[in-house]
Amino acid sequence: MRTRPTLSWTPTTEDLRPGSTDPGPVADALRAGGVLVLSGAGISTESGIPDYRGEGGSLRRHTPMTYQEFTASAQARRRYWARSHLGWRTFGRARPNAGHRAVTAFGRHGLLAGVITQNVDGLHQAAGSEDVVELHGSLDRVVCLSCGASGSRRDLARRLEAANTGFEPVAARLNPDGDADLTDEQVGGFSVVPCAQCGGVLKPDVVFFGETVPASRVGRCRALVDGATSLLVLGSSLTVMSGLRFVRQAAQAGKPVLIVNRDPTRGDRHAVTRVALPLGTALTALADHLDIPVADSTTA
């Protein structure tokens, strides 16, 4: 069953609780250990990847591709792959920032029960975090919708380059799902390459809007919530149910939910605190407070 995409939510009075600038409760939770991290697009903005719903977020100007549109229309796939191919040149060069490195440091010091990320950028792993559950998949991989074969996005990029010699439009902006803003005129007759094994349709190995997260992956995440002492949400508005359900699960189990996000979130009503500070600043300060060294960008 496919779900209808949720792109926005309307906060109620209960949702609009003031944020705090005191990271103390988060420090206490980390000190106790067993913290499960749930990260969203906000943790990657300092790496040059925009978020969806924050100030200047991409949803103010851009409607993401849905699963239904991608599978139903060859023209939609041409538009997606043209934009994504161009965006990959920047997206694939993004590097972890202080927030990603702090999460890695917390994990290496035994404070975390795991990391679930809603992001598809692979930056937690690039920073050195291990056993990260990629809730929505990864843009590093592609999969064939016909035969199920999977492959490297870098290999696909080389094939697309060869099939589209001279494709060098200037994009307006990069989006958090890895594509770039192009007009239909800029997309032009971009050539989409098929699966090298069966000739089928290739799709990035990510969960599109309107597509469901695989049940086995959801089960793994639920097990992590069950085993955690608390849940720490980093940079997610929690608008999408795929992440919000884990906040609700933790709260229903009586486990503290802590959120670091500058703007109100759909999960605030379930949280004991929301720290309204930039993630890099807040997480680096937390590491300093706990006397945990954070690797710099050259050693992560």
CATH number for the domain that contains residue 260: 3.40.50.1220
Q: How many domains does the chain have?
A: 2
Distance CA 40, CA 20 (A): 19
Q: Do 191 and 218 share a structural domain?
A: no
Average pLDDT over the chain reads 88
What's the per-residue H, E or C state across 3-71? CCCCCCCCCCCCCCCCCECCCHHHHHHHHHCCEEEEECHHHHHHHCCCCCCCCCCHHHCCCCCEHHHHH
Does 6 fall in a domain? Answer: no
Q: Is 273 left (phi over 0), alpha (psi -120 to 50) or beta?
A: beta
Last residue of one domain, picked from the residues 162, 181, 206? 206
Domain assignment present for 280: yes
161 and 283, same domain (yes or no): no
Q: Does residue 218 sit within a domain?
A: yes
Contacts of residues 159-166 at CB distance under 8 Å and 24 or more positions apart, as own/partner, are: 159/193, 159/196, 160/81, 160/85, 160/191, 160/193, 163/191, 163/193, 164/85, 164/190, 164/191
User: Is 252 found in the same domain as 116?
Assistant: yes
Q: Does the annotation flag 50 for ligand binding?
A: yes
- The answer to whether residue 2 sits within a structural domain is no
Q: Is 254 annotated as a binding residue?
A: no
Q: Is 107 annotated as a binding residue?
A: no
Identify which has the larger pLDDT, 250 or 185: 250
pLDDT tens-digit series, residues 267-293? 999 999 999 999 999 999 999 999 999
- Has 85 been annotated as catalytic? no
Structure tokens at 56: 């200047």
Q: Are residues 283 and 216 in the same domain?
A: yes
The pTM for the full model equals 0.87
In a domain, 258, yes or no: yes
CA distance 220 to 200: 30
pLDDT tens, position by position, 127-150: 999 999 999 999 999 999 999 999
Same-domain status, 234 and 292: yes
Q: Are residues 117 and 235 in the same domain?
A: yes
Asked whether residue 11 is domain-assigned, the answer is no
Domain check: are 103 and 24 in the same one? yes
Residue 14, in any domain of the structure: no
| 101-111 pLDDT per residue, tens | 999 999 999 99
Does residue 121 have a known ligand-binding role? Answer: yes
173, 206, 239 - which closes a domain: 206
Domain boundary among 157, 184, 206: 206
Residues 123 and 179 in one domain: no
Query: pLDDT per residue over 214-239, tens digit each?
Result: 999 999 999 999 999 999 999 999 99
20 known ligand binder: no
Q: Report the pLDDT value the prediction gives residue 177, as an integer from 0 to 100.
A: 64
Per the domain annotation, does 4 fall within a domain?
no
pLDDT of residue 149: 97
Q: Which of 124, 136, 270, 289 is catalytic?
A: 136
Rounded to 5 degrees, what angle do the CA atoms 190, 191, 192 make? 115
Residues 177 and 264 in one domain: no
Mean pLDDT of 205-210: 91
Label residue 213 by pLDDT band (50, 70, 90): very high
CATH number assigned to the domain comprising residue 175: 3.30.1600.10
Structural domain that includes position 283 = 19-49+96-136+212-300
Is 61 a residue whose pLDDT tops 60?
no
Rounded to an integer, the average pLDDT of 50-71 is 66
Angle between helices 279-289 and 24-32 (to 10 degrees): 60
Which residue from 211, 194, 236 is spatially nearest to 64, judged by alpha carbons? 211
Residues 111 and 23 in one domain: yes
Q: Where are the beta strands (DSSP E) in the chain?
A: 35-39, 112-117, 132-134, 137-144, 150-152, 202-206, 230-234, 257-260, 273-275
In this structure, the answer to whether residues 78 and 129 fall within a common structural domain is no
Same domain, 80 and 154: yes
